[in-house]
């Protein structure tokens, strides 16, 4: 199954979650989402980059420069303390929403 549209705010949550274990660059984020979900979420990968800027501006992630696999300088993103807090908050909200939705959908 693939979703043809991500619910609002999902992309932000995905990025935050992806960066939780380790700092990654943009492509690595896309790959991680792809692998973890078996490519079920059709993330329009171009949208990733404005989203990274947005999260940076909110102070949830920050960027550092690192040498890439291809030998060029590339930005690597890392969660900030605020970002971690936001991730905890959003995960809890999301889980609660899914639980509630599941109850509704299974109700007779």
Partner 1 sequence: MSGRHPRPDPRPVAGSDDEIEFHVEMRTRRYVEAGLDPAEARAKTLARLGDIEAARTASRAIALDMGGSVTRSAWWPSLLQDTRFAVRVLRGAPLFTITALLTIGIGIGAATAVFSVVNAVLLRELPYPAATRLVVVWNSYEQAGLEHAAVSPEEFADLMAGAQAFDRMAAARPQATTLTGACGPGASCEPERLNTYIVSPNLFEMLGVNPVLGRGFTGADGGTGAARVVLLSDALWRRRFGEDPTIVGRSIALGGLTFEVVGVMPAGIQFPDEPIGYLKQRADAWIPRSWETVKDGRGNQYLAVLARLRPGASLGDARANLAVVAADFRIRFSDRYAPPQARWRLAVVSLRDEMFGDVRPALLLVFGAVGCVLLIACANVANLTVARGTRRRREMAVRSALGAGRGRLVQQLMIETLLLTGVGAGLGILIAEAGLRGALALNPGNIAGLDGARIDAVVLAFTAALAIVTGVIVGLVPALGQSQADPQSAMADGARGVGATAPRLHIRASLVVAEVALAVVVLIGAGLLIRSFVEMTRVPTGFSADGMMTAGIALPRAVYLPADKAIAFQRDLLSRLSALPGVTHASAVYPLPMSNDGWSGSIVIDGRDDLPGLPPAHAEYAVADPHYFETMRIPVIEGREFAATDGAGAPSVGIVDVEFAKQYWPGKSAIGQRVSPFGEPGVGPWTTIVGVVGHVRNAGARAAGEGQFYFSGLQKAEFGMTFVVRTTSGPVALAPAIRSAVRELDSNLPIASLEPMDQVVVRLTARERFNVAVLTIFGIVALTLAAIGLYGVLASLVSQRVREIGIRLALGARPTQVVRRVVAEGLGLAALGLVLGLASAAALSRVVETLLYAVAPVDPVTYGLIGAMIMGVSLLAAYWPARAVMNVDLVSVLRA
The residues of the shown chain that bind partner 1, judged by CB under 8 A, are 7-8, 23, 25-27, 30, 44-50, 53-54, 56-57, 62-70, 72-76, 78
Closest approach of partner 1 to the CB of residue 59, in Å: 11
**Chain Cα centroid distance, residue 8:** 12
Minimum gap (Å) between residue 17 Cβ and partner 1:
19
CA 54 to chain CA mean position, Å: 12
d(CA 11, CA 78): 16
Task: Name the minimum Å distance from CB 62 to partner 1.
Answer: 5
Backbone angles phi, psi at 58, to 5 degrees: -75, -5
Separation CA 61–CA 23 (nearest Å): 10
Question: Considering beta carbons, is residue 50 or 93 the nearer one to partner 1?
Answer: 50
Specify the residue, 57 or 103, whose C-beta has the smaller distance to partner 1.
57
């Amino acid at each position: 199954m693939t979703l043809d549209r991500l619910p609002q705010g999902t992309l932000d949550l995905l990025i935050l979650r992806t960066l939780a274990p380790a700092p990654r660059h943009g492509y690595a984020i896309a790959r991680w989402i792809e692998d973890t979900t078996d490519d079920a979420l059709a993330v329009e990968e171009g949208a990733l980059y404005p989203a990274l800027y947005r999260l940076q501006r909110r102070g949830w992630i920050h960027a550092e420069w690192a040498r890439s696999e291809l030998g060029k300088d590339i930005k690597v993103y890392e969660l900030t303390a605020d970002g971690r807090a936001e991730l905890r908050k959003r995960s809890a909200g999301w889980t609660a929403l899914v639980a509630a939705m599941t109850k509704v959908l299974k109700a007779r």
